[in-house]
Amino acid sequence: MFDFLLKTPNRVAFTVFGIDIMWYGLLVGLGMVAAVVLAYRRAPKLGLSSDRLLDIVLWSIPAGVIGARAYYVLFQWDQYKGDLKSILNIRAGGLAIHGGILVGVGLAMILLKWVWKEDVLRYIDLVMPSIALGQAIGRWGNYFNQEAYGRETALPWGMLVNGKFVHPTFLYESIWCLLLCLFLVWLAHSGRQSFKGQILCLYLMLYSLERFFVEGLRTDSLMIGPLRQAQVISIVLFALGAIGYVTLKKRKACTNEP
């Protein structure tokens, strides 16, 4: 079942006019397209505008990519300070989802509230399952780049890298994010969502929970004291999600808003 983990993949998907198209970029792009299609199809069912969603996409996806790259470069500055041109080479990998979420979702919130005067939380709730789907697909780019893997393991699904069996952390996160996407979509469309912002808060908590433990398996992360940098960010985002959950639920109870 996991035989593919024992093979060294070709990073190049295909070549066009002498230009190598890398699996990493292809999968990240595919994840973005799938995320947009999912949100676009769901928007009318939730009483939201598909056109407004596309407005969000046109601004937030480029901003998210820039944020993801800037975040990665910032924490890997020693690698890039001697060759600034390499900062633009994202085909080789180097996108940090935390930076993408902070910048992309942050910009969407600003535009929705201050420019378009829309209901911020309803639209953010709409896009969070799509973000999880995009992550589930995009994480496979790490497999083709042979990066972001974990420490050695004797488990039968270990990934063979440099002659050693290691945890396929990309696979763990991909599966978790796909399940997270399905759960959040189910919650939103089953009538069980009890307040606006619930989907956002659950995403922050559930993704951060997974990322904290999976990040502990990795060997290539930056450290902040005894914890890995992404673990610290995960703790912060989990706390924000939990605080937001309690606050928004109480506000709903007090105001009885729809």
Per-residue pLDDT tens over the stretch 104-137:
999 999 999 999 999 999 999 999 999 999 999 9
Integer angstrom CA distances of residue 179 from 186, 202, 234: 10, 13, 19
Task: Find out whether 56 and 111 touch, Cβ atoms under 8 Å.
Answer: yes
Q: What is the pTM of this model?
A: 0.92
pLDDT tens for each residue of 132-165: 999 999 999 999 999 889 999 999 999 999 899 9
Q: Residue 253 above 80 pLDDT? A: no
Rounded-to-5 percentages of helix, strand, coil across the chain: 70, 10, 25
Q: State how far the Cα of 46 lies from the Cα of 150, in Å rounded to an integer.
A: 39
Give me the mean pLDDT over the 89-104 stretch: 84
**Is residue 175 within 8 Å of 214, Cβ to Cβ?**
no
DSSP one-letter code for 49: -
